[in-house]
Amino acid sequence: MRTQRVINNQKSRRSINSLSVRISSAGYVKADDGWRQSPLYAGFSRLYFVMDGEGYLLSDKEKMRLEPGYVYLSPCGDKCGFYTDTTVTKLFFHVNMKISEDGTDAFENYGRLAKLEYSIDKMKRLTEAYLGEDIVGHAWAKAEIFSTVAAFLSENPTCILEPQKSSQVLEAIKYIRTHLTAALTVGEVARAALSSESKLATLFKREVGNSIAWYIEDLIMSEAQNMLMGGKMSISEISERLGFCDQFYFSKIFKQVTGITPGEYINNFTS
């Protein structure tokens, strides 16, 4: 009997298994000249599949024209704004793509607006698949979103080349993401990572680029935006779920970070 040699790569398997896409909001819309928003912080990435009309995407660094036959990316972590003076028809997805077990988002270091050619016929098929009720269509739509994300990453591959993190920082990130609440303290995180507060703070700042407190607040605001986009919870319920003492303090912190209140965010920042 001939033996077969199986070539295995456990690191690749773990990497593939850690990949996931979360869609917090999506829809097909024909927007008029009321579709406009100054650049504001967003904890998710936006994919715009533009089928008709024209408009503009804005960041705090650049402006990009929206034209039919292209898919556009506004990456998470950057400020995003938009407007049209006429109309623009598009299919949009608000996405977070996790690429590692510590919860790193693929686009958090992308740093710029981007666009790729995408046929209008394919956009129509994607729209039909998304709006339909067929599980096969939904599976195809998800695969297409993965493919589009991969295409954007291939245009800027260095954005996901992060330095290796120490075991203490990895444990800290894991604990923060699984115990995320406004009441979470640096001391609690340090104890979970089996480290002193001062040592962990130094390592975290060096390896992540921001303080532990900033990282916690950034994740909380990202999660708050996703919950607001989901439309299933009231602002009061979101405030309680995220561990704020009351809705008014949550709204105050949310406005400090994004520039608008949670209510304004729901009304003006959903597409």
Residue-level pLDDT at 44: 87
User: What is the per-residue pLDDT across 177-191, written as a single tens digit (0 to 9) for each?
Assistant: 889 899 999 999 999
Are residues 62 and 113 in contact, defined by beta-carbon separation less than 8 angstroms?
Answer: yes
Residue-level pLDDT at 7: 80
In whole angstroms, give the CA distance from residue 40 to residue 265: 10
Residue-level pLDDT at 2: 66
The structure's pTM equals: 0.77
- If one compares 153 and 42, the residue with the highest pLDDT of the two is 153
Section 114-126 average pLDDT: 97
User: What is the per-residue pLDDT across 139-172, written as a single tens digit (0 to 9) for each?
Assistant: 999 999 999 999 999 988 877 765 567 889 888 9
SS (H, E, C) the chain: CCCCCCCCCHHHHHHHHHCEEEEEEEEEEEECCCCEEEEEECCCEEEEEEEEECEEEECCCCEEEECCCEEEEECCCCEEEEECCCCEEEEEEEEEEECCCCCCECCCCCCCCEEEECCHHHHHHHHHHHHCCCHHHHHHHHHHHHHHHHHHHHHCHHHHCCCCCCHHHHHHHHHHHHCCCCCCCHHHHHHHCCCCHHHHHHHHHHHHCCCHHHHHHHHHHHHHHHHHHHCCCCHHHHHHHCCCCCHHHHHHHHHHHHCCCHHHHHHHCCC
> Over the chain, what is the mean pLDDT?
88
- If one compares 176 and 42, the residue with the highest pLDDT of the two is 176
Residue-level pLDDT at 148: 96
| Residues linked to residue 96 through DSSP beta bridges, in sequence order | 22
User: What is the per-residue pLDDT across 92-113, written as a single tens digit (0 to 9) for each?
Assistant: 999 988 877 667 788 888 889 9
Section 4-12 average pLDDT: 78
Judged against a pLDDT cut of 60, whether residue 49 lies above it is answered with: yes
Q: What percent of the chain has pLDDT over 90?
A: 48
Residue-level pLDDT at 3: 66
